[in-house]
Amino acid sequence: MSTISPPSRAGSGPWRLARAELRRRPSVKVSLVVVTLFAVMAVAAPLLSALGGWGPEEFDKSAVDPYLGGLPVGPLGGVSAEHWLGVEPVTGRDLFARVVHGAQVSLLIAFAATAIVVVAGTAAGIAAGYFGGRTDSALSRLMDLTMSFPSLIFMIATMSVARDVNRIVLMTLVIGLFGWPGIARVVRGQTLSLKHREYVDAARVGGSGPWRILTREILPGVAGPVIAYTTLIVPGMIATEAALSYLGVGVRPPTPSWGQMIAESVAFHDTDPTYFVVPSLCLFLTVLAFTLLGDALRDILDPRGSRA
């Protein structure tokens, strides 16, 4: 008697095809380069700022002109051999050091919040889809309740009233709290279509318990869509962190963040546009790269979801 195995177990064929398809797309290659660049920048932020010779909180009063309202000395916001991307107006802090440390903070919050969303959403979606009945009803109503909250307003209120706490940890938890229902619904739908497949029934008849079936049979079947949607979640998390920091309820100075830097640069966009352009460009490129990569992964790993 031949054994029935899930399609994802039929070998690495589907994943090989996915990798080959990704390699054929120029946008994916460029996106991977950009994502890798900013990830390395975030991990190596202390080393890079030390290489530049300035810390993110060091002041260089000689780089700004006190008689011109603290504007940077020199062209392009004070770009020089000493300050590679120029300096902040008034303070004279090195913009390169602030940007790389801002990448570390922004990406850390985005990745950590995404991890919470993916783990919670996948677990809830699989449980709701596989067990059905009251479990499905309870989890589905919880998803509806969470999605009905005005999340941005709640985030702003929470971040405003919570003062003596670790802002990075709090932002990660608050952002992750409202993100899981979306992926949970995707996983629930996939689980409903998988739980009556032949290989799942064969495992059930063979004496496998629910935990083994969920982890060995169902989870590999939903892995493709989860990976695709995870890549699409990251840019939203980055933008949310930037928005909260821009509104002044996110990471507090002097800890750098891209959103915070953009907020501070608005007052100087006429006199020192470099200060505004550099963090804005970093934020734009990161979000765009993750979005293009996520779209490509969704088209390849979850074609039915991309047509929906």
Query: Are the CB atoms for 294 and 234 separated by under 8 Å?
Result: yes
Average pLDDT over residues 89-111: 91
Q: How far apart are the first and last CA of the chain?
A: 39
Separation CA 296–CA 306 (nearest Å): 10
Residue with tokens 């990161």: 286
d(CA 132, CA 191): 10
pLDDT tens digits, one per residue of 133-155: 899 999 999 999 988 888 888 88
* pLDDT at residue 220 in the model: 85
For the chain, the average pLDDT equals 85
Burial (Cβ within 10 Å: 0-12, 13-18, ≥19) of residue 113: buried
In the predicted model, is pLDDT for residue 116 greater than 90? Answer: yes
Domain boundaries, the chain: 34-307
pLDDT tens, position by position, 194-233:
888 888 888 888 888 888 888 888 888 888 888 888 888 8
Comparison of pLDDT for 270 and 94, the residue scoring more: 94
CATH fold of 34-307: MetI-like fold (1.10.3720)
Using DSSP's 3-state secondary structure scheme, residue 85 falls into coil
State residue 285's pLDDT score: 93
Confidence check: pLDDT of 268 > 90: no
How far apart are the C-alpha atoms of 137 and 90, rounded to whole Å? 57
| Spatial distance between the Cα atoms of 287 and 31, rounded to a whole number of angstroms | 10
**Interatomic CA distance for residues 262 and 260, integer angstroms:** 5
Residue type present at position 168: I
Across the range 285-298, mean pLDDT stands at 87
| pLDDT beyond 80 at 18 | no
Rounded to whole angstroms, the Cα distance separating 279 from 58 reads 18
Is the model more confident about 14 or about 90? 90
